[in-house]
């Protein structure tokens, strides 16, 4: 088996500028409106405040360029008797897909979450994204008998 084309590492505050272009690509692929200023600021805050969560990076072994990332944030839930977490973003540059980078990022996130004491981890995936679903289901994630609903609190609507 060939060596991984990437090295996985936890991101630091200084990595924000390398992550932001990948965030823009992730949001475009997911059909999420890209708002560079507030989303970039939120990333910088996450990187500066580890109690909120963390980001892991996939760096190309040859060039050192960031070619993928995964992002996890913390919550707290009585159902799980403590800290739970959400993997809110997982993205690999299209040039390195189908080479195990997504699996490596996902495994690194889960390992770090266990180390941080999380009792459960959640993620969302579009039902039609069969490739991502296969990745997640292959790593032990499964559908729950609930539907996630969201209300934006920053929109001013009640």
pTM of the model: 0.90
65 within a domain of the structure (yes/no): yes
pLDDT digits (tens, 9 = 90+) for 61-109: 999 999 999 999 999 999 999 999 999 999 999 988 989 999 999 999 9
Give the CA distances from residue 19 to residues 12, 30, 37, 38, in Å, rounded to whole numbers and listed in that order.
Answer: 11, 16, 14, 14
Q: How many domains does the chain have?
A: 1
Residue 110 belongs to some domain of the structure:
yes
Domain limits for position 78: 6-138
Q: Distance between CA 74 and CA 116 in Å, rounded?
A: 10
Q: Is residue 156 part of a domain?
A: no
Please check whether residue 62 lies inside any domain of the structure.
yes
Using the structure block, give the residue that is written with the tokens 């892991």: 56
Classify residue 155: in a domain, yes or no: no
Is 130 domain-assigned? Answer: yes
CATH number (domain holding residue 99): 3.40.630.30
Q: Where are the beta strands (DSSP E) in the chain?
A: 6-10, 53-60, 66-77, 82-92, 120-123
Compute φ and ψ for 67, nearest 5 degrees.
-120, 0
């Amino acid at each position: 088996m060939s060596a991984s084309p990437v090295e996985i590492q936890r991101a630091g505050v200084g990595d924000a500028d390398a992550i932001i272009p990948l965030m823009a690509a992730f949001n475009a692929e997911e059909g999420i409106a890209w708002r560079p200023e507030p989303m970039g600021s939120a990333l910088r805050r996450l990187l500066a405040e580890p109690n909120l969560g963390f980001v892991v990076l996939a760096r190309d072994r040859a060039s050192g360029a960031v070619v993928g990332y995964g992002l996890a944030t913390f919550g707290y839930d009585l159902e799980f008797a403590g800290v739970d977490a959400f993997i809110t973003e997982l993205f690999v540059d299209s040039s390195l897909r189908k080479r195990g980078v997504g699996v490596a990022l996902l495994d690194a996130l889960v390992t770090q979450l266990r180390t941080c004491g999380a009792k459960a981890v959640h993620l969302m995936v579009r039902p039609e994204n069969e490739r991502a679903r296969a990745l997640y289901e292959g790593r032990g994630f499964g559908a729950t008998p609930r539907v996630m609903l969201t209300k934006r609190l920053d929109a001013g609507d009640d």
